[in-house]
A and B are shown apart, each in its own frame.
Chain A
Amino acid sequence: MRRAVLLAIAMFALAAPPVSAADSVNPKADFKAFRDYFTKHFPKVPLNDFVNGPYSMDADLRKQWEEIDAFPPYQFALDKGKQMFETPFKNGKTYGDCFPNKGIGIRQSYPYFDAKAGEVVTLDVALNQCRQANGEAPLDYTKDDMAALTAYMAFTSRGKPFDIKIPNDPRALAAYRKGEEYFYTRRGQLNFSCASCHVQSAGDHIRTEVLAPALGLVAALPIYRSEWGGMGTTSRRLITCNSQVRAVPLKAEDELYRDVEYYLSYMSNGLPISGPGARP
C-alpha cells in the first residue's frame, strides 16, 4: 500500500501533471500530493507536529526531547545570534536594516525567488548579501556564526506558518522544478535520493536514528545536533546528507541546494517555523 502511494508520488514527480504537457510544472498539484502522502501515511501525527521531525514519529524520543528542550542546548547559539544581530556593522547599520520588519519574525518567507537576480535567495544568502552591501566580509555558510544568526531569526519567527511564494515566472518555476528533481534523484555510492530516506522511509530507523519526514523538515533549521556537538546550518545539513549516502556534496548554498530548499519549504507551506531545533 505504502509502496503504491510512493510510486504514485514518484510518478507524479516525474511527470506532473500526469496527462498535459510533460514538462509543465504544477507546484499546487505537487503540494497536494506531497501533503496527502504524509497525512495518509501518518494519520495519527497532527499536521503541525511534522515540524518536530523524528519526535513526531517516536514517543520515546519525544520524551527525551521534551526533557532536553526544557533547557535547550542551542541556548548559547541563540544568545550569540541575538548579540550578532543587534551589533551594528562598521558603517553603523544593522542586519535589521536589510530586512522587512527589521528582520524579526520573517524566517517563514525564506527562501524567496528574487526576480531581479533570477534565482532563489535563502535566508543565509540574504544575510551575506546584507553583510556585503554594508562592506562586511561574508560568513561561512556552514559555520557557527551563520548558524547562530539564523537560529535567532528562526526563533523570533517560531509558530509563524511557512509562506513561500512561487511567482508565475518561468525562471521561478524552473528553479522549483530543479529543486524537486534534485530531491528525487538517486546519487552516491549508496544510490539514495533525499526522498529515499525522508519520504519513502520517514519514521523508520536508520541504525538508532529515526528518519525525519520531508514534510516540515526545513522548519526546524538550523539545528543543534548532539551528534555534531554543535549547531548546523541548512548547508551543513544538506552537505552531510549527501556525504552520508557517499555522494559528492555540492558547495554550500549552491544553486541546486537553494532550489531544494525552495522546493521543500514550499511543500511545508502553512506549517509553523520551529527552529532552532535540537536533534539527536
Chain B
Amino acid sequence: MASTIRIRAVASGDTTEVQALVQHPMDSGFVKDAQGNLIPPHYIEVVEFEHAGKPVFTAYWGPAVSKDPYIKFSFKGAQKGDDLTISWVDNKGATDSLVGKIQ
C-alpha cells in the first residue's frame, strides 16, 4: 500500500524547511454518519520527525486537528542528502513512517 505520508525537506544554508502531508481521517468522535451513528474517534496522537537519531519536531495531536493534516516547520543543523524520518501513531495504535531525503 502506498504510504500515508508525503514529505519535502529542503536545506538552504543552515536551515532546513520541512513540509509534510499525512493522509488520515482524523475523526473527532463527535460527527455522525449518514445513518445518524457516531463515527468513533480516530485521530493521530503523536507525530515525530527525527534527524540523525534525534527528534527535531514532535507534535501531540488530538481530535481538533483536521483531516489529512499538513505540517510545516524548519530546523537547523541538517545537510543536503541527510535522512529525515517522520512517523505517526494514532489512537487505535496504527502507525506509519517514512524516510525522506533532505534536498
A interface, CB within 8 angstroms of B: 70-71, 73, 75-76, 79-80, 83, 229-230
Contact = CB atoms under 8 A, between A and B. Distances in A.
A3 B79 CA distance: 59
B23 A229 contact: no
B21 A79 contact: no
- Among all A-B residue pairs, the 6 with the closest Cβ atoms: A71-B19, A229-B67, A76-B23, A75-B6, A79-B2, A71-B8
Contacts of B21: 71, 73, 75-76
Given A76-B68, A229-B67, 15 more contacts: A70-B19, A71-B8, A71-B21, A71-B72, A73-B21, A73-B68, A73-B70, A75-B6, A75-B21, A76-B6, A76-B21, A79-B2, A83-B2, A229-B68, A230-B67
Nearest to A67: B72
B12 interface: no
Contacts of A75: 6, 21
Nearest to B26: A229
A228 to B, nearest CB: 10
Contact of A71 (B23, B66, B67, B70): B70
Contacts of A76: 6, 21, 23, 68
A75 B67 CA distance: 14
A80 B19 CA distance: 20
A73 B68 CA distance: 8
24 contacts: A70-B19, A71-B6, A71-B8, A71-B19, A71-B21, A71-B70, A71-B72, A73-B21, A73-B68, A73-B70, A75-B6, A75-B21, A76-B6, A76-B21, A76-B23, A76-B68, A79-B2, A80-B2, A83-B2, A229-B66, A229-B67, A229-B68, A230-B67, A230-B68
Contacts of A80: 2
A145 to B, nearest CB: 15
Interface in B1-58: 2, 6, 8, 19, 21, 23
A71 B67 CA distance: 16
Contacts of B19: 70-71
Identify the interface centre among A71, A73, A75, A83: most chain B CB within 10 Å of its CB.
A71
A80 B6 CA distance: 13
B7 to A, nearest CB: 9
Contacts of B2: 79-80, 83
Nearest to A79: B2
Contacts of B70: 71, 73
A206 B86 CA distance: 39
Contacts of A79: 2
Contacts of B6: 71, 75-76
Contacts of B68: 73, 76, 229-230
Nearest to A70: B19
B75 to A, nearest CB: 17
A229 B70 CA distance: 12
A186 B19 CA distance: 44
A80 B72 CA distance: 23
